[in-house]
Amino acid sequence: MNPETDKTSSESPSAAQDEHSKWLKQLSTFTELGKTVTSAEKIKDIRLKIGEGIAGWVAKEGTPLLVPDAQQDPRFAKKVDDKSRFITKSVICVPLISKGKILGVIELINKVEEGSFKYEDLIILRTIADYTAIAIENAKYFQKVHELTVTDDLTGLYNSRHLYRFVDYEVERAKRYKTNIAMIFFDMDGFKEINDVHGHLCGSKVLTEVARVINSTLRKVDMACRYGGDEFVIVLPQTSKEQAFIAAEKLRNMIKDFTFLKEEGINTHLTASFGVAALPEDANDKLELIHLADKAMYSVKNANKDGVALAQKENKR
């Protein structure tokens, strides 16, 4: 008899049992994970107030917490378990802190392996939380820097840099899908007098109020920008020239009826001159669209002001 063969044969039942136990443990783990995912769907809309529940307590105090038996802890909020029909046994929760400010919390519930969470688990989660807080803070700064590059500091509208990028994209999209894109270009009438009589601070306030009026009229797909000085541009994707004219008339009347500098006690009224152009009716590309809308606006500006003019397609020689 071969000793090696005999040895392998004698160990096979034990190895098979170990493999079977391992498989059962994995199956149990996946079952628990499945329950957790199902429960997560049920509670995704539940919100805890600061100080409510274990997560709320950690968010309020800024202190990590290890709870071996959640059901016996007075800070535990049972409404989440009631909603999900899930039984919370043990919990570890740590705050996400960056520069002394609490950004949120990370909470882990029910250790998959047997037993409850240990202090070692809390140490690991605190390390993860530190890196997570740094990542969140960096993402916020990145978003802020991005916003500063595309928005006008004074009005909060987009700036001309973003306008060109946006129109580039929308023009290509309009050409590809054979749809329209319209542009409203307008300039405030009598704005120089506001600066001369009431000062530049009041002039700046007027521009922010104009931006507020614009924002109240925009659809989600529209984009408004401060082109420069007291000039503004609104881009209306999938909009015909006639529809843009109606939108411009509506905005013109809203500006005319608006009382500017009310808080300053000045209570003045202003008007604006508008130009409307569209692609493909008038223009073939981005620059021509802006040029024709601007030209139409100046035709009103140089006439009676306080009106809306439609662009005229220029004949190419």
Neighbouring-strand partners of residue 185: 233, 275
Residue 27 has pLDDT above 60, yes or no: no
Domain tally, the chain: 2
Averaged over 118-144, what is the pLDDT? 87
CATH at residue 177: 3.30.70.270
- 152 vs 195: CA distance, rounded Å: 19
pLDDT at 8: 46
- Give the global pTM: 0.62
Higher pLDDT, 274 or 141: 274
- Give whichever of 4-8, 130-134, 202-206 has the largest mean pLDDT: 202-206
pLDDT at 307: 96
Question: For residue 315, is it within any domain?
Answer: no
Residue with tokens 């009026």: 213
> Are 166 and 126 found together in one domain?
no
Q: Is 54 exposed, middle or buried (0-12, 13-18, 19+ CB in 10 A)?
A: buried
Averaged over 66-94, what is the pLDDT? 87
Question: For residue 153, is it within any domain?
Answer: no
Determine whether 282 is an active site residue.
no
Residue with tokens 């220029």: 314
**Active-site residue (options: 152, 187, 189, 230):** 230
Confidence band of 7 (pLDDT split at 50, 70, 90): very low
161-187 pLDDT tens trace: 899 999 999 999 999 999 999 999 999
> Are 11 and 52 found together in one domain?
yes
Question: For residue 275, is it within any domain?
Answer: yes
What domain range includes position 55?
3-147
> Are 184 and 275 found together in one domain?
yes
> Are 143 and 164 found together in one domain?
no
CATH at residue 31: 3.30.450.40
Domain boundary among 116, 147, 178: 147
Specify the range with the lowest mean pLDDT, choosing from 33-42, 49-58, 70-79, 296-305.
33-42
Average pLDDT of the residues of the chain: 86
pLDDT at 26: 54
Count other Cβ atoms within 10 Å, centred on residue 1. 6
Averaged over 69-92, what is the pLDDT? 86
263-302 pLDDT tens trace: 999 999 999 999 999 999 999 999 999 999 999 999 999 9
Distance from first CA to last CA of the chain, Å, rounded? Answer: 103
Question: For residue 316, is it within any domain?
Answer: no
Higher pLDDT, 14 or 219: 219
Report the interhelical angle of 286-301 vs 160-177 (nearest 10°).
120
pLDDT at 291: 96
Higher pLDDT, 15 or 201: 201
242-258 pLDDT tens trace: 999 999 999 999 999 99
Averaged over 207-234, what is the pLDDT? 96
What are the angstrom distances between the C-alpha of 118 and each of 110, 122, 180, 184?
11, 7, 62, 63
95-106 pLDDT tens trace: 999 888 999 999
Question: For residue 278, is it within any domain?
Answer: yes
